Structure 1
């Protein structure tokens, strides 16, 4: 049995997210599985490193699937590129050990988020950034980002309700870079809760405008209450950049 690892790039603008849905064919997983199943002559199920929400993009989503088919990887990739929509690209295929699991074996991920910080929207950036016109104190936001790094219970910065599963995560690094009107946020951590990055961004933006004080971060960690954190910014500015494995 072959175990094949995929590196996938996609523009999530037209899709309802990564995960296959029974009542819709507008998911990344569903599109890829359909082409693979037709190509390999049997029902193929792929496992992704994690879900991305509707509208979220990926530069390097990782998935894997198993097959007995002996078709070469180059030929397989060519068929996938030819038959998938142009906004879903399988960048790489490689055979990996049978025990490799794209979700269970992750050691970390990197996400990017983009904010168009100008009074006038951008026609070109609208699908790949969040238009936020308020004036921001970038240095204050950078100081707040440092308070967010480290190992914390991020329940209050997620869309999860209380759960028996641990909501403690290690957030290794947050950077904020500015290139004219475009802000680029980068997050590197061992794992992320549902909507965690989007809520962290919303919280940092509200600190940057003075709507929230810096001390609010400690309060949110302590309370674990979603309503104490900032808004959840829209999905179109979010990119899954990289998935790490030991």
Structure 2
């Protein structure tokens, strides 16, 4: 039995997230069906994270076990011919049996994009959050910097998946602007349910003057979700980088 890791990308607009669900179409279900026709047996994929409905991935990693002897270099093309255009397998690699796409992941980066202009842009529909009020990215960065480090992030977690601990470590949270596009990049050792979208919403609140960046340490200490900013829409969120041990996939990390 071989353990195969896949690097893929997808546009999440048409899907109800990664995770297989009973009544709606998901990325994992679509990928598993395509893989099954290629390797000629049922396939169960383990993904790097549970992206929500409408969220995208510029880089995503999944692994599955197979008895097929198809060479890894042939798998992407074979699978892609059976996938819709909005899901693409970029490459495949045989990995140790102990490799698990989520359990072996060291840290992740998500990117959130805001189209900040008085007039919306049709090409960013479901690809960036259209926000017509002026936003000061410097104030947003001042707020974002307060989240860096190891903290209890219960205040920016939506009700959802149960977790043993709400403590996470954010390695960086950088907010930049290029014209009308504001890019928010955040990297952590793990994320809580809707955490990135709530982090961005809180930075937007700061830019609107609804809270001060200096309020954020007290906000985190309160563990009160209602004290933080809103959960921003999913269409602007992308998984963009994943880090794994270098010896696991036989090449340098991160995936990007």
**What TM-score results when the alignment is normalised by the length of structure 2?**
0.92
Rounded to whole Å, the distance in 2 between the matches of 1:245 and 1:45 is: 21
Aligned to 2:65: 66
**Structure 2: unaligned runs, 5 residues or longer:** 246-256
Rounded to whole Å, the distance in 1 between the matches of 2:196 and 2:65 is: 31
The alpha carbon displacement at 1:100 in A equals: 0.6
Quick one: structure 1 residues 164 and 69, their matched pair in 2 at CA, closer, same or farther if it must change by over 3 Å?
closer
Quick one: structure 1 residues 59 and 219, their matched pair in 2 at CA, closer, same or farther if it must change by over 3 Å?
same
The alpha carbon displacement at 1:163 in A equals: 5.3
Q: Are 1:54 and 1:235, in contact at CA under 8 Å, matched by a contact in 2? A: yes
| Residues 1:166 and 2:165 aligned together | yes
Q: Are 1:149 and 1:173, in contact at CA under 8 Å, matched by a contact in 2? A: yes
Rounded to whole Å, the distance in 2 between the matches of 1:123 and 1:11 is: 16
Q: Are 1:155 and 1:162, in contact at CA under 8 Å, matched by a contact in 2? A: no
Aligned to 1:13: 13
Q: Are 1:9 and 1:60, in contact at CA under 8 Å, matched by a contact in 2? A: yes
**What TM-score results when the alignment is normalised by the length of structure 1?**
0.96
Rounded to whole Å, the distance in 1 between the matches of 2:162 and 2:95 is: 34
Where do 1:33-72 residues align within 5 Å? 33-72=32-71
Q: Are 1:2 and 1:68, in contact at CA under 8 Å, matched by a contact in 2? A: yes
**Structure 1: unaligned runs, 5 residues or longer:** none
Rounded to whole Å, the distance in 1 between the matches of 2:39 and 2:125 is: 38
Where do 1:60-209 residues align within 5 Å? 60-160=59-159, 165-209=164-208
Quick one: structure 1 residues 63 and 162, their matched pair in 2 at CA, closer, same or farther if it must change by over 3 Å?
closer
Aligned to 2:250: none
SS at match of 1:141: helix
Rounded to whole Å, the distance in 1 between the matches of 2:217 and 2:36 is: 49
Q: Please provide the CA RMSD for this pair.
A: 1.4
Rounded to whole Å, the distance in 2 between the matches of 1:60 and 1:179 is: 22
Deviations, residues 11-67 of structure 1 (Å, cap 9, x unaligned):
00111110111122x210000101111222211100001110011000111100011
Aligned to 1:22: 22
The alpha carbon displacement at 1:161 in A equals: 6.5
Rounded to whole Å, the distance in 1 between the matches of 2:142 and 2:164 is: 30
The alpha carbon displacement at 1:188 in A equals: 1.0
The alpha carbon displacement at 1:98 in A equals: 1.0
Q: How many residues align?
A: 245
- Deviation above 4 Å: which 4+ runs of structure 1? 161-164
Aligned to 2:228: 229
Rounded to whole Å, the distance in 1 between the matches of 2:135 and 2:68 is: 55
Rounded to whole Å, the distance in 1 between the matches of 2:90 and 2:213 is: 41
Rounded to whole Å, the distance in 1 between the matches of 2:217 and 2:103 is: 31
Rounded to whole Å, the distance in 2 between the matches of 1:158 and 1:214 is: 19
